[in-house]
Amino acid sequence: MSDVVIRNIGTIVTGDIAHPIADGDTIVTREGKIAYVGGEDGADTNAIRAVVDAAGATVMPGLCDNHVHPVLGDFTPRQSQFDFIDSSLHGGVTTMISAGEPHTPGRPTDPVGVKALTILAHKSFAKLRPSGVKVHAGAVMLEPGLTEDDFTEMADAGVSLVAEIGISGVKDADEAATMTRWAQARGMRVMVHTGGASIPGSGVIGADFVVKVQPDVAGHTNGGPTAPPLSDVERILEETSARIEVVHNGNVKAAAAVARLAAERGELHRMVIGTDSPAGSGVQPLGILRVMSWVTALGDVPPEAAVAMASGNIAALHGLNTGVIEVGMEADLVVVDAPLGSQADDALGALAVGDTLAVAAAIIDGSWRFTKSRNTPPASRPIMFVG
């Protein structure tokens, strides 16, 4: 089933930070893509039997987690936990981006082993979608001895990510900058760890390192888990073109401060959201929803912009055909609402008061993955599913 009609929508939040709210109350998907967004009178619903009556609830893009640490399959040895990806789906996440696979038992650190692990993780998740979630994995962890030819070999195998620099063997800024140029020349997106040390073997990284490396993403600028000074984040915004990331496995107060800084500078389009899980703090199935509420309720960011930080901004960074509700995009959607008992009347209002949204349904490529989240509170509205 990849043809669905979602009708009676209260608000369509697009995930496009430049145009965050769409007119209309109906979305139609066909053959796994979004075919129509607008008023019900203009929708072609011919031969579509699967219908969601949103009852005034909100529809937004399936959420993207910009910072996960998978290994292989839906299991994390970091916390000895199965089905962590499926649990995140029940928190509205339909796409995940690896920031490296450092928790792999016996992770190799020689160039041959690094390439083998990276290519294996990439090709494994290219064929496997746990619970339908699109996991973009195989992020090369930089180790001394890697050559430019090694990056060519990995890029030719489809690798497009460099794991957060600072959690593996390359610690020198000049060496990291050289490898970053090799990676970026081959279309790879590069992340740098910022803030205090996280796992054994990682280090403290500040603005000087990030400015010299010039990555595509400054990871967890609110700490992973220890935050850098806000002045470092300001320097990163001023002296690089990198996106700035805030995560659940970080400092809540710093997340709000980073959001306010980006808003004051008119650079919310550069903010992306992740969980940085699995981590020492565990697996956070509702982590993206919670960070969205932090930056809204504590950072005074418009809730529709917070949605974009967890969807369209990430899709634009990684060149994905998802994360935005627009005709032709992959039909990855979530139906959300104010949770039952909330002081707010709808999903955007719930984010504004700091509540965790109720996820009523998740759709990936036009196919329903569930019609009631097992992890979020129930929705306030009587959302109905037919077919």
d(CA 194, CA 181) in angstroms, rounded, equals 19
pLDDT per residue, tens digit, the chain (387 aa), is 589 999 999 999 999 999 999 999 999 999 999 999 999 999 999 999 999 999 999 999 999 999 999 999 999 999 999 999 999 999 999 999 999 999 999 999 999 999 999 999 999 999 999 999 999 999 999 999 999 999 999 999 999 999 999 999 999 999 999 999 999 999 999 999 999 766 556 568 899 999 999 999 999 999 989 999 999 999 999 999 999 999 999 999 999 999 999 999 999 999 999 999 998 888 999 999 999 999 999 999 999 999 999 999 999 999 999 999 999 999 999 999 999 999 999 999 999 999 999 999 999 999 999 999 999 999 999 999 998
Q: Say how many C-beta atoms besides its own lie within 10 A of residue 122's C-beta.
A: 22
Mention the CATH class of domain 63-318.
alpha beta
- What span, in angstroms and rounded, lies between the C-alpha atoms of 267 and 244? 10
Contact in structure between 138 and 98 (CB atoms under 8 Å) = yes
Both structure tokens of 52: 């969601």
| Domain topology for 4-61+323-386 | Urease, subunit C; domain 1 (2.30.40)
Q: By CB neighbour count within 10 A (0-12 exposed, 13-18 middle, 19+ buried), where does 230 fall? A: middle
Q: Which is it for strands 33-38 and 243-247: parallel, antiparallel or unpaired?
A: unpaired
- Helices 230-239 and 252-264: crossing angle in degrees, nearest 10, is 40
What is the amino acid identity at position 259?
A
Tell me the two tokens of residue 259. 């959001």
Contacts of 60 by beta carbon, 8 Å cutoff, 6+ apart: 12, 13, 14, 15, 307, 311, 325, 333, 334, 336, 347
CA distance 315 to 182: 23
- List of residues 6+ apart from 66 with CB closer than 8 A: 97, 99, 217, 245, 272, 273, 274, 314, 317
Dist. CA 220–CA 14, nearest whole Å: 25
List every span in the chain annotated with CATH 2.30.40.10. 4-61+323-386
Q: Where are the domain boundaries for CATH 3.20.20.140 in the chain?
A: 63-318
What are the structure tokens assigned to 128, written together? 């496997």
Predicted confidence at residue 320, as pLDDT, reads 98
